[in-house]
Structure 1
């Protein structure tokens, strides 16, 4: 039965990730809740068979059914990663529902950061509120070890943000992960993200001066840490 639970959550995750892409695409432009999905090139409304996460992309071979324009593979990858992000979520648990909200908010930030190298603070506001409430409710459990693990990294990100060497978004995401999970979890997530970025950097022709969207890598690191818990 455990594998059925995992598959169900994976499918739910792909649907949430697919909707996250729609939200970022339409944010500030048009309704992303009730309006029908359509091709951004030919504006043709999509049918249900065109909107099945992962499967529709494979069946249509990454192209619009109507105008045949290529659909970026990033959409497929986002849905795939979304499936694993929510893989262990127990949607009958209030705590896990809060975790799902945090994960969805951070996914929105990751997609926005990938596309335009920044994100609106309102995208992660739910995650920020939940993480702040969580840390306040568990403030008495904070140990000296937690502070030692948190303060150096926090001060480093704060210093680099002031110097404008990294975006304030990275600092906000670090605070969310530290407050909601714990400092060790956040540090391991950022370490994994840094390793993933280094691998991509060495395996591609990225310029050292080219701005890098780091939050997508943080999200990948987050998924890996969640699966390893």
Structure 2
């Protein structure tokens, strides 16, 4: 079975993506060994085994006994779960003429980038440009690969496809860009605007708008719950990126089901 391997791979990547989100958000180099935040001691390889090291050390640094955040094992488990679900859904939703491991790899790469974006925005309300560019490049590669699989091997045709997707990205980005300009950045961050462009490039216009719809609805629900439970106020800032990421992920893998569901509700 491939899924235990994918789960373990997710645990390993979860540890790396956690560090990547922190270092990119703090503008630190992504190179170099991990260190304890309290004593600054470099962590050995046996301190960094996903889940196992945290449990064996009781969630504490081997050297200074300071407690590690529970977020580390939680992110590792979350990433493993996302990887397994992504692989499974990619297998079920694959509509290409022949099964392709490359498509699975593209989807896993997209999932990994989205997790880094999610962590960075939740912690620091920043969506690193490096991840936006990485996601865009993965999207372009997938678009061209699918074109080749369907027989469009001419380079001009492939470039035309990419150009069309760029136009769709601009169309999806336009409403949020207008909100950003009208509110002078008070309504949302420019990182969210850039993310909608990438979403439009990869998903297209209809699915891109539906991803935004899911993002706005889910964000509104969470905002309302925070108000009702008095855990937030009307002026409490809520990162919008995680909800956009949720909408993007849902539409990427459940596009036919969501479009069918929406058409039944709204009759389009």
Counterpart for residue 203 of structure 2: 181
1:206 to 229, 232, 245: 232
The Cα of 1:204 is off from its aligned counterpart by 6.2
- The TM-score normalised by the length of structure 2 is 0.64
Q: Which has the higher contact order (CA 8 A, sep 6+)?
A: 1
- Equivalent-residue separation in structure 2 for 1:15 and 1:102 (angstroms): 16
Q: Quick one: structure 1 residues 37 and 199, their matched pair in 2 at CA, closer, same or farther if it must change by over 3 Å? A: farther
The Cα of 1:127 is off from its aligned counterpart by 0.8
Q: Is the 8 A contact 2:215 2:245 kept in 1?
A: no
**3-state DSSP of counterpart to 1:124:** helix
Spell out, residue by residue over 1:42-91, the C-alpha distance to the aligned partner (whole angstroms, 9 max, x if none).
12222333212233333434332322222222333322221122223379
- The TM-score normalised by the length of structure 1 is 0.73
RMSD, matched Cα: 3.5
- Equivalent-residue separation in structure 2 for 1:17 and 1:186 (angstroms): 25
Q: Is the 8 A contact 1:106 1:124 kept in 2?
A: no
**3-state DSSP of counterpart to 2:238:** coil
Q: Is the 8 A contact 1:113 1:215 kept in 2?
A: yes
- Equivalent-residue separation in structure 2 for 1:43 and 1:139 (angstroms): 48
Counterpart for residue 197 of structure 1: 222
1:130 to 134, 138, 154: 138
Counterpart for residue 41 of structure 1: 38
* Aligned pairs, number: 216
Q: Is the 8 A contact 1:106 1:173 kept in 2?
A: no
**3-state DSSP of counterpart to 1:70:** coil
- Equivalent-residue separation in structure 1 for 2:61 and 2:249 (angstroms): 30
The Cα of 1:19 is off from its aligned counterpart by 0.7
For structure 2, list consecutive stretches of 5 or more residues without a partner in the other structure.
92-99, 145-159, 256-268
1:76 to 69, 73, 77: 73
The Cα of 1:96 is off from its aligned counterpart by 2.5
The Cα of 1:105 is off from its aligned counterpart by 2.4
